[in-house]
Amino acid sequence: MAAAGASLLLAGGLAAPPALSAPPARPGHRPACGQPDQAPGFETPARTGVVPDVSCMDLQMARDKARAAGFRDLDSEDAGGRGRHQIVDRNWVVVDQNPPAGSRLPARARLVFRVLAYGDAGAPPVPDRARPGRMPRLSCFDLQEAQDTLRSAGFRSGRSQDATGRGRRPILDRHWTVVGQAPPPGGTYPKRTTVTLRVVKNGEPSPCR
């Protein structure tokens, strides 16, 4: 997805920054989770050094979101008390996290995600990522985080496009910021839909600064 593809006709200008997410769940309190793309922090871009709200995300997306915030020491544990190992992270949903969302911590801090398998008592059913779904809002995400979010929502086909019109190709996806997308967020689309992410290099003028 990181490579630039053929140009698409894109409507509108630069995307506005997203609204802040709802307050995170209280520590030790299990949220009532739905599908992965309904997680409270799903459409909120990560901030460096701030623990993201990963409640109700699948475990793979939770790890991706934490890495986007600059954290690398990540662990998970079975919230069902059965000591199960998480082999395929997409098959698990985060029901608690420590430290809590919003904590400002150094990059070396350890984050622990407590998880249940989809279909467990207290967990949502196994998500059907093949059926048409809502297009997430990706404004102000770094390009890697945006790609990870699309995969969690079930969209597999995407490409990036230099929003300045200079035809540059992103090499390090973390160094680029999403300022627009096509199709636009909010609608329901088949998962085979190709998503184009319009990007600028970090530090260039954008509505995300």
Q: Per-residue pLDDT for 38 more than 60?
A: yes
Give ranges for CATH 3.30.10.20 in the chain: 36-117
Helices (H), 52-91: 59-68
Q: Per-residue pLDDT for 153 more than 90?
A: yes
Q: What is the pTM of this model?
A: 0.84
Place 209 in a pLDDT band, splitting at 50, 70 and 90: confident
Amino acid 15: pLDDT:
47
Q: Per-residue pLDDT for 10 more than 50?
A: no
Angle, helices 59-68 vs 143-153, to 10°: value is 170
User: Can you tell me the mean pLDDT for 29-48?
Assistant: 91
* 36-117 is a CATH 1.10.357.10 domain: no
- Is the backbone of residue 51 left (phi > 0), alpha (psi -120 to 50) or beta? beta
pLDDT per residue over 60-78, tens digit each?
Answer: 999 999 999 999 999 999 9
Distance separating alpha carbons of residues 100 and 92, to the nearest angstrom: 19
Q: Per-residue pLDDT for 45 more than 80?
A: yes
User: Can you tell me the mean pLDDT for 68-97?
Assistant: 98
Residue type, 205: P
Instruction: Please state, in angstroms and as integers, the Cα–Cα distance from residue 156 to each residue in 9, 68, 105, 148, 159, following that order.
Output: 20, 19, 33, 10, 10
Q: Per-residue pLDDT for 137 more than 60?
A: yes
Amino acid 30: pLDDT:
67
154 within 8 A of 191, measured Cβ to Cβ:
yes
User: Can you tell me the mean pLDDT for 186-193?
Assistant: 97
40 within 8 A of 61, measured Cβ to Cβ:
no
Q: Which helix (H) or strand (E) holds 150?
A: helix 143-153
